[in-house]
Amino acid sequence: MASSRKVFMFPWLAYGHISPHFELAKKLSDRGFSIYLCSTPINLGFIKKKVTQKYSSSIHLLELHLQETPELPAFYHTTNGLPPHLMSTLTNTLKRAKLNLYNILKSIQPDLIIYDVVLQMWTAGLASTLNIPAVKFTTSNIKQARNVCDVKNANNAEAEDNSTADHPEDDDQEVPKRFCDSIMVVRSCREIERKYMKYLSDMTMMKVVSAGPLFQDPGENQDEKNDELIQWLEEKSECSSVFASFGSEYFLTKEDMEEIALGLELSNMNFIWVVRFPVGGKMSLEEALPEGFLVRVKDRGRIVEGWAPQAKILRHPSIGGFVCHCGWSSVLESIEFGVPIIAIPMHLDQPINAKLAVEVGAAVEVVRGENRLDRDVIAQVIKDVIIGNVGDDLRRNMRDLSQKIQKKNWMNLWSC
C-alpha cells in the first residue's frame, strides 16, 4: 500500500532548494506517502513553521548535524546569509557528514530516496550501499541540470555493486546505474523546456519526470508587514509598478546596488525593492544606497530589508514587471503570475535561466556595458516593460503560457 511507503528527501542546504523539496513532499504526502525530509537544524527551523496540521503526521523533519568549527558555526550550516568565501567549506563539511546520513538512512530504511543533484551526487553511493532505490531531483531548469549531471557516466559500464558493504566509503564511489541514472524529477514543465527534456532523456537514457513549478501558495504567508505592502500596492493602478529582488543568497556589490537604485529612480515607476545584506555585513540603508535616494523616492518606492512575500506581491494586479536575478524559483513564479521579467542575472545558473526566460517570451535582459550595470539602461528597460509595447507583448505571451501550465495535472512520479 502506498500509505506505508516511506520517502526520504535530501535537499541541498539552500532555501531555494529546500522549499521545492517541501512542496514536493506535500504532494507526495497527499498521495499517501510518509515523508522524511532531512537537513540541518537551522534549515529545518525555517521549514517547521510551514508544516501545517494537515501534514504534521505525514511529513517528518530529520536533523542532520554537521561538524561545528570557529569558521563554520551552526548558524552557517545553510547558504542563507553564508559569506561566499565559506561555500566550499560548507560543501565539504556536508560531505564529511556522510556517516551521520548513513546512520539516519539505516535507521529509517526508506523505500525511496529523493536527493538533490546539486553538490550531493554522493548520496547515490549511500543508497547503493543500503540497497535503497534513489532518484535525482533538480530544483533548477533542465539546461542547468544537464551541466550538473555526469552525462558521460550514463553510458559507462556498470560499476561494481557495493550493496553488501556494511558501512559507507570515505571517497565517492561509482554507483550502479539502476540506483542513480534511471529517473530524474525536474522542477519544470514541458511547456517551458520540452526540447531540453527530450535532449536530456536522450543523452542520459533517464526518464525525466515533470513535477511542475512547486512553489508555496501565496496565501500561506500572513503578517502585518506583508499587509502594509499589499495595501500600498492597492493604491497603484494596474501594471504600474515593479518588484525588485535578487534572491536570498546573493548580495549585491556596492556598485551594482547603486546602479540598480538609480535605475529604479530614473524610470519614474513605482517600485518595491527587497535589499539584503550577508550575516555580519549589515549596514543602514542610508549608508548602502546613493545619497539622498530614500528621500527622493519616498512617495513611489518601498525599500524592504531582508524578506518580502514575493509570490503574493507578484500576483497583485498593480505589478507590471519583476526586476530580478533570474533564480529558477523567481522565473517560475513570474510565469505563473504572468509578470514580465526584467532580467539582471548575477551568477551560477542565473544567466542560463535568463536566456531561457527570454527564449519563451517571458523576459527582457538588461544588457551590461563593459560587464557593468548601467542605470540608464536599467531605467529604459523598466519603462519599456511597464509602459511600452514590449511589456504588452510579454504579458500576452506569459498569460497564454501560464494558463497552459495551470491546466496541467502534475506529479505522476508514483506511477514510474
Query: Could you list the active site residues?
Result: 17, 116
Q: Check: CB of residue 77 under 8 Å from CB of residue 13.
A: yes
Q: Which three cell numbers stand for residue 217?
A: 501558495
Query: For residue 68, what are the contacts with CB-CB under 8 A and spacing of at least 6?
Result: 74
The residues near 63 (Cβ < 8 Å, ≥ 6 apart) are 38, 39, 40, 41, 44
Distances (CA, A) of 262 to 55, 67, 85, 300: 45, 43, 29, 14
The Cα 133–Cα 289 span in angstroms is 51
Residues 6+ apart with CB under 8 A from 277: 251, 283, 288, 305
- Give the H/E segment covering residue 331: helix 328-337
Q: Long-range contacts: 403-412, Cβ < 8 Å, 24+?
A: 404/191, 405/189, 405/191, 405/192, 405/212, 405/213, 405/335, 405/336, 406/336, 408/189, 408/191, 408/212, 410/27, 410/189, 410/210, 410/211, 410/212, 411/27, 411/28, 411/31, 411/211, 411/212, 412/209
Q: How far apart are CA 348 and CA 164, in angstroms?
A: 38
Which of 37, 166, 167, 39 is CA-nearest to residue 99?
A: 167
What dihedral do alpha carbons 176, 179, 181, 184 form, nearest 10°?
A: -170
45 in Cβ contact with 14 (< 8 Å): no
Residue 81 backbone class (left: φ over 0; alpha: ψ -120 to 50; beta: rest): left
What the block records as the C-alpha cell of 190 is: 514541458
